[in-house]
C-alpha cells in the first residue's frame, strides 16, 4: 500500500516494488513526488534490494530479501524529514524473519542522505557487524541523529512498527494489537486507533495506553 506525505507544498508517495507480489524477493522501496498531487514524477529507488555483507548467508527456509512497510515518513520537531522502511527475509519478514528498520533523510533539494538502520529486529542477533548499513548513531550529522532519537522516543508513532518486530526488549508499550496501526484524534482530544480486520481501540491519555482492541462490525474490510 502506498504511503503519502505532504511537506510544505510537495506531495511524496512511497511504495514497494517486487517482481510478482508483495512478499516475493527481491523487494525495494521507491518514492515519487508531485507538484500538484495529480501529475507524478518518475519514481526513484530510496531503499534498494538488500545485499548481505560478505560471509552472511541466507537462513534456511527463506527465498531472499524483501522490504515491508508499516511506516513511511516522519517529520521531526525541527523539521527534518525521515524516510523509513523495513528489511526482512522473503517470504516472511516478521519477527524471526526480520532484519531491521532503515532510515534516511530527504533533503529539500530532492536528494537523500545515507541509509542507516534505526532499529534491529529483537528476534535475531542482527547488529552493525552483520548487516549492510551502519547504525544511525554513527552519522556525523547531529541534526539527523537528533531526529532519529525524537522518532524513537515517540511511542505512539513507533507503535506502527509493532507487528513486524513485536519487540522482545520492552521497546513497545502495546501488547494487544493487530496489523497496520493508524489513528486519528477526535474533537474531544482522545485518540482512536485502527487496525486491519476492523479492530479498534481508544486512548484517553494521549496515546500512552489504549483499551483492549475490539472488532467493530460497522467497519467493513476484506479481512476477518
Q: What is the pLDDT of residues 19-52, one digit of tens each?
A: 998 899 999 999 999 888 889 999 999 999 999 9
| 151 and 210 part of one domain | no
Q: Return d(Cα 140, Cα 93) in angstroms, integer.
A: 30
Is there a single domain that holds both residue 15 and residue 124? yes
Residue 28 neighbours by CB under 8 Å, 6+ apart: 16, 17, 18, 45, 47, 48, 49, 67
Task: Assign 152 to helix, strand or coil.
Answer: helix
Residue 117 and residue 189 share a domain: no
Which residues are 17's β-sheet partners?
28
| Co-location of 49 and 24 in the same domain | yes
Q: Cell digits for 192?
A: 482512536
Point out the domain boundary residue: 125, 150, 170. Answer: 170
Q: Note whether 166 and 184 are same-domain residues.
A: no
What are residue 82's phi and psi, to 5 degrees?
-105, 140
Q: Where are the beta strands (DSSP E) in 164-217?
A: 182-185, 191-195, 199-203, 214-215
- Considering the domain architecture, whether residues 152 and 181 belong to the same structural domain is answered as no
Distance CA 143, CA 163 (A): 29
Work out the angle at residue 223's Cα, subtended by the Cα atoms of residues 219 and 224, and round it to the nearest 5 degrees: 85
11 prior amide bond cis, ω within 30: no
Residues 79 and 180 in one domain: no
Question: pTM of this prediction?
Answer: 0.91
Task: Output the pLDDT for position 223.
Answer: 57
16 and 72: one domain?
yes
Which range of residues forms the domain containing residue 62?
3-170
Residues of the chain predicted below pLDDT 50: 1, 9
Joined together, the cell numbers standing for residue 73 give: 515518513
- Candidates 157, 164, 158; CA nearest to 179 is 164
Q: Which 3 state secondary structure label does DSSP give 147?
A: helix
Residues 96 and 195 in one domain: no
180 and 165 both lie in a single domain: no
Sheet with 44-47: strands ordered across: 3-7, 10-17, 28-33, 44-47
Same domain, 101 and 210: no
Query: Structurally, how many domains does the chain consist of?
Result: 2
Amino acid at each position: 500500500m502506498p504511503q503519502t506525505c505532504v511537506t510544505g507544498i510537495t506531495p511524496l508517495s512511497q511504495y514497494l516494488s517486487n517482481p510478482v507480489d508483495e512478499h516475493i524477493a527481491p523487494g525495494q522501496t521507491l518514492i515519487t513526488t508531485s507538484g500538484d498531487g495529480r501529475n507524478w514524477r518518475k519514481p526513484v529507488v530510496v531503499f534498494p534490494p538488500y545485499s548481505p555483507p560478505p560471509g552472511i548467508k541466507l537462513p534456511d527456509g527463506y527465498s531472499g530479501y524483501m522490504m515491508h512497510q508499516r511506516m513511511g515518513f516522519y517529520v521531526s520537531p525541527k523539521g527534518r524529514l525521515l524516510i523509513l522502511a523495513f528489511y526482512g527475509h522473503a517470504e516472511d519478514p516478521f519477527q524471526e524473519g526480520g532484519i531491521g528498520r532503515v532510515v534516511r533523510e530527504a533533503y529539500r533539494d530532492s536528494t537523500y542522505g545515507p541509509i542507516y538502520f534505526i532499529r534491529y529486529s529483537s528476534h535475531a542477533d542482527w547488529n552493525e557487524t552483520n548487516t549492510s548499513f551502519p547504525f544511525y548513531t554513527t552519522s556525523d550529522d547531529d541534526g539527523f541523529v537528533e531526529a532519529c532519537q525524537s522518532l524513537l522516543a515517540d511511542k505512539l508513532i513507533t507503535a506502527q512498527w509493532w507487528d513486524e518486530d513485536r519487540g522482545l526488549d520492552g521497546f513497545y508499550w502495546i501488547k494487544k494489537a493487530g496489523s497496520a496501526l493508524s489513528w486519528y484524534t477526535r474533537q474531544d482530544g482522545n485518540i482512536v486507533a485502527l487496525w486491519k480486520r476492523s479492530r479498534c481501540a481508544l486512548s484517553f491519555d494521549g496515546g500512552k495506553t489504549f483499551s483492549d482492541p475490539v472488532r467493530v462490525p460497522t467497519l467493513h474490510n476484506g479481512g476477518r
